[in-house]
Each structure stands twice: as structure tokens, then as C-alpha cells.
Amino acid sequence: MLPKCEKWPMAIKREKREQHWDVGMNLLGEEKVQETKLLRVSHARIKLWALRAITTLLLWTCIVQLVAMGEVWGPSLLKSWPSCSSPPSMHTATNVSSIQPKRHYPPKRVYKNNGYLIVSCNGGLNQMRAAICDMVSIARYLNITLIVPELDKASFWADPSDFQDIFDVDHFILSLRDEVRILKELPAKLQRRIEVGMFYELPPVSWSNITYYRRQILPLLKKHKIVHLNKTDARLANNGLPLEIQKLRCRVNFSSLRFTAQIEELGRKVIRMLRQNGPFLVLHLRYEMDMLSFSGCTQGCNTEEVNALTAMRYANPWWKEKVIDPDLKRKEGLCPLTPEETALVLSALGIDSHIQIYIAAGEIYGGKRRLRSLAKAFPNLVKKETLLEPSDLLFFRNHSSQMAALDYLVSLESDIFVPTYDGNMAKVVEGHRRYLGFKKTILLDRRVLIDLIDQYNSGSLSWDEFSYSVKDAHADRMGSPRKRVMIPDRPKEEDYFYSNPQECL
């Protein structure tokens, strides 16, 4: 055993090694502590950024949901507040009304498709309007797909407008999708069949019931896949149809056939201008050249005008009747009233001479000369061409169906509607006004009126006697509720469905 003095240097070395070890361990521990602290700080920062990101996302989601909800039921005041991204001019009071509410359409009806129906409408706007309603109803009850109808471009009016130029085509399709599938055009795979003539074409029998279409048209659809009906006027009966078909015709007419936004807006503008000056009467003065030529009615026309009307009738291949006795036709009540006759009748009915009269018509044959008597009796005569600037109507010129659509809208809103001839517009507007609450529509009995007018002009009747007789003859012809006249086996002579759709009122 060595003496203690000899052990001391080794102990010293050992203690120094231990001290170095302890210092190293302490330094290592401090580094780990620092690293741990750094990791904790880093984790805290990451959590903070994540929390901020989640919070921002939640807030943004809430804002989007609130905006979406606001579009559906939010106050109109909030919806009219300007946004930072929109110019101030977009938020003026006049443009608030242009904000369109969100449309909600019915779910699609699912059914086995029996084929594709193409239809070509013929005639003027309101004749085509009624035909479209009929064709939708037929397509629905045959379980087929309807292609958006083609409009007449070859008739006297030669209007080049397509369906989408007059009607809101998307609303038409979507609003009826729970009843029938409607496409803007044939699927591409079927277009080739049209090109090579692999389809069937025919004009259906007039005034037919739904049984005819099930027995005659449906087999053709199943066989040929595509059927083209090339005439559509009056092809569905007025009466004897299931209630569901009658109601669907009304739904198409009064709800789904909405005019384009451009036509609707101009119509509202005309109505506002008229309303600013009080109540107004719409006079459907059917005294255009084509009407007179077609009917052969020449009362009040000079020799040159009569010759021009006759030449037009003979030149038109669609008008079968050529030789016409105008005096006989007038006495039978088959002619539109002349402007002079109309002035007498309105005065006899007690219409206020100062009321605004909006003439819903094309160019009156004979111009200002023929309107002189009417303007003298009712000086507040207006028409779209005098109310609106030329720039407003620039888009509509040479588009007679679009012009007729504008007159249609104004006619619906008038305080009184008076047609001087029972053509398609007179009938369809009459029915629509009934649907809107039996608005006052004076349905002139022309056969009675012509006899009374001739007696008054010859001096056989005094003014008071004439006025009393005119009022008495029309006491129950003011658009009030009444049953539609039905004449079995004589559909042309019975009341038109669209003038009195009683099943829908």
C-alpha cells in the first residue's frame, strides 16, 4: 500500500477528469435545454399560424354563406348597397329594379323517351304562341322530347326572329322540366338522320283530341324516332280534353312563355309612361294593309287603295279566297271596324274623350287621313312610335313579331282593352286578361254594330237611340266570367280555348 502523498497526483487527475466530464455534461444539458426551448417556440409559432389560417377560413366561409342567404331573403336595402368593385353608376335607384331574384325551378321529370318532336309554327305571334302551348301538352302526354319550336319566317310578315329572340328560352325549358324534356336542338348523333331524311314529316289533323296523337303520331315516333309537325295552328281541340292537358296549356301560356328581358323592359317603360298620365285604353285597331287584303274589306278606301289590296290578295298564294264581296262581308260582321266606325262606337259606349288611347297595331292603312275622325273624337291618341325614341325601337324594326310582343304586354296592363276584330291577338289577350282577374275587355259585336252604324248614318236613329242600343248590346260583353261555348262536330264555330280557358280560372 502506497503512502497517501503518492496517491494525491492521481487523485488530482481523476478529479480533474470528473470535473471536465461534469462541465461537458452541463454544457451538453444546456444545449439540449436551448434546443428544447427553440423547438417549443417553433411549435408555438406553427400553432399560432395554423390558428390564424383556420380562423380566417372560417370567417370567409361565414361571409360567403351570409351573402348567399342575403340573395335569397336579405333586405332589399342591403342588396342595393354598392360594393368596392362596382362603379357608382351601377347602384343608382333606377337600376335597383334590374336585380333579378334567384329563380327556383322544379325537379326534372324522369320518363322513358318515345322519340323526338320537331315543330314548325305558322302564322303571327299569337297564333304561334297558342301552338307552342299545344305542342308542349302533346309532347308531355306522349312522353317524348320536344325540340324548341321553330317560328314562322315565310308568312306575310317575314319576321326573321327565332324563338330565343322573342321568348326567354332558358326559362321556357327549365320551368317545364317537371313535365317534359325540352332541348334547344337535336342531339348531335340524331342530326345526321335529319340530313339524310330519316324522319317523318306531316301536318297533323286540325282540332284533334289527344287520342289522335296517341294512335296516329306516337307509333310514327316510335318507328322513325323523329317526327316533324310542319303546321301547328289549331291542331289541338278546344274541348273534350283531360283537365290535366287544359291546365298544362294554361301553365305554358301564362307562366312559361315569358318574353325576353329586352322586350319586357321596353314594355314596362311604355306602361310607366302611360300610367304617368292616368288610365289608358288599348285599342287593337286591326286596320293594316295585310288584314284588309286578306279579308277583302275595303269600306272607306279609295279606288287606288282597293286595287292595291286586291292585287296583294291575288299575289299571296296562302290566301285561298280571291273573289270577295266586301259589302256583304261587312254586313255579316266579318270585317274589322274602320277607324271612323270605331270612333262612333267608343263614343256611344261612353268612353271618356280625354282618356289616353294606345293603338296596338302596325301601320294603319290610309295613314293620318283614316285616323282623322278617331283623333278628333279622342285627341289623346298614342302608339309606341310616338311614345318612344326611334333609338328605342331600332332593334325591333322589321321584326313584326317582336313589335307585337310589345303591344301584347301593354294590352295586358291596360284599364280597358278593345279589339276591333276577333283575330288571334284579340282572342289570346282576352283569355290572358280573364286569367289576370277578368280585366275589362270590350268584345264588340260587329254584326250588330254595323247595322246600328248604318241606321245612325242614314238618320234612322238619333244619337241617344244609337248610344243606348250600342250599350245595351254590349252589357254582357265586357270580359266577365262566362261559360265557353261548345259546339260538337263544329270546332271552328265554338269559342276558342285561349280566349276563355275556363278550366284554369
**pLDDT (tens digit per residue) in 233-291:** 999 999 999 999 999 999 999 999 999 999 999 999 999 999 999 999 999 999 999 99
Residue 155 or 18, more confident: 155
Is 60 part of any domain?
no
Is 3 part of any domain?
no
Both 299 and 383 in a single domain? yes
Which 3-state string (H, E, C) describes 102-161? Answer: CCCCCCCCCCCCCCEEEEECCCCHHHHHHHHHHHHHHHHHHCCEEECCECCCCCCCCCCC
Both 271 and 416 in a single domain? yes
- pLDDT of 44 reads 58
Give the Cα separation of 128 and 163 in Å (integer): 10
For the entire predicted model, the pTM comes to: 0.80
For residues 362-391, average pLDDT: 95
Whether 323 has a pLDDT exceeding 70, the answer reads yes
Query: Do residues 452 and 470 lie in contact, with contact meaning Cβ atoms separated by under 8 Å?
Result: yes
Whether 402 has a pLDDT exceeding 60, the answer reads yes
Give the Cα separation of 162 and 151 in Å (integer): 6
Both 439 and 298 in a single domain? yes
**pLDDT (tens digit per residue) in 49-80:** 666 666 666 665 555 454 444 433 333 333 33
Is 498 part of any domain?
yes
Both 467 and 347 in a single domain? yes
Average pLDDT, the chain: 86
DSSP 26-68: HHHHHHHHHHHHHHHHHHHHHHHHHHHHHHHHHHHHHHHHHHH
Using alpha carbons, list the distances in angstroms from residue 448 to 331, 444, 481: 9, 9, 22
Query: Do residues 428 and 126 lie in contact, with contact meaning Cβ atoms separated by under 8 Å?
Result: yes
For residues 158-182, average pLDDT: 96
Radius of gyration of the chain (CA): 39
Whether 337 has a pLDDT exceeding 90, the answer reads yes
Both 358 and 231 in a single domain? no
For 207, phi and psi rounded to 5 degrees? Answer: 55, 35
Q: Which of 228, 256, 284 is the last residue of a domain?
A: 256
- pLDDT of 158 reads 74
For residues 296-307, average pLDDT: 96
Query: Do residues 344 and 453 lie in contact, with contact meaning Cβ atoms separated by under 8 Å?
Result: yes
Give the Cα separation of 505 and 496 in Å (integer): 15
Both 303 and 412 in a single domain? yes
**pLDDT (tens digit per residue) in 19-37:** 544 444 443 344 444 544 4
Both 228 and 265 in a single domain? no
Is 45 part of any domain?
no
Both 382 and 267 in a single domain? yes
User: Please, which pLDDT band fits residue 48 given cuts at 50, 70 and 90?
Assistant: low
* Of the listed ranges 2-16, 95-109, 337-351, the one predicted with least confidence: 2-16
Cα torsion angle, 191, 194, 198, 202, sign: positive
What count of residues does the chain have?
Answer: 505
Whether 421 has a pLDDT exceeding 50, the answer reads yes
Both 286 and 415 in a single domain? yes
For residues 219-226, average pLDDT: 97
Grid coordinates belonging to 416: 280597358
Give the Cα separation of 300 and 287 in Å (integer): 11
- pLDDT of 396 reads 87
User: Please, which pLDDT band fits residue 295 given cuts at 50, 70 and 90?
Assistant: very high
Whether 436 has a pLDDT exceeding 80, the answer reads yes
User: How many structural domains comprise the chain?
Assistant: 2
Both 426 and 372 in a single domain? yes
Is 4 part of any domain?
no
Query: Do residues 360 and 282 lie in contact, with contact meaning Cβ atoms separated by under 8 Å?
Result: yes
Query: Do residues 374 and 397 lie in contact, with contact meaning Cβ atoms separated by under 8 Å?
Result: no
Is 470 part of any domain?
yes
Q: Which of 205, 227, 256 is the last residue of a domain?
A: 256
Range of 126's domain?
116-256
Is 497 part of any domain?
yes
Q: Which of 256, 276, 291 is the last residue of a domain?
A: 256
For residues 311-324, average pLDDT: 91
Both 350 and 499 in a single domain? yes
User: Please, which pLDDT band fits residue 422 given cuts at 50, 70 and 90?
Assistant: very high
* Of the listed ranges 83-92, 168-177, 254-263, 349-358, the one predicted with least confidence: 83-92
- Which residues have CB under 8 Å from 479's CB, separation 6+? 417, 430, 433, 434, 438, 439, 440, 441, 442, 443
- pLDDT of 46 reads 62
Is 71 part of any domain?
no
Whether 5 has a pLDDT exceeding 50, the answer reads no
Both 295 and 367 in a single domain? yes
Whether 144 has a pLDDT exceeding 60, the answer reads yes
Which residue has 380566417 as its cell numbers?
56
Grid coordinates belonging to 341: 266606325
